[in-house]
Structure 1
């Protein structure tokens, strides 16, 4: 997912050792926005666009 998002120029890692963990944290942070969130979590380990 990290590679696909970087290739599509949707997101880039800030250069950390674990870009997957950074992306996961960014998605969870976005979900805390409530109605303005761009992501939903329909099941454990699954995300979808809002």
Structure 2
């Protein structure tokens, strides 16, 4: 997912050792925005557009 998002120029890792964990954290922060969230949890470990 990290590679696909970087290729599509949607998100890039800030250069950490665990870009997958950084992306997961960013997704969870977005979901925490409630009605302003761009994503929603679809299944364990799965997300979809809100």
TM-score (normalizing by structure 1): 0.96
Gaps of 5+ in 1: none
User: What is the CA RMSD across the aligned residues, in angstroms?
Assistant: 0.5
Give every structure 1 segment of 4 or more consecutive aligned residues whose post-TM-superposition deviation is greater than 3 Å. Answer: none
CA distance in 2, matches of 1:32, 1:47: 13
Gaps of 5+ in 2: none
Count of paired positions: 50
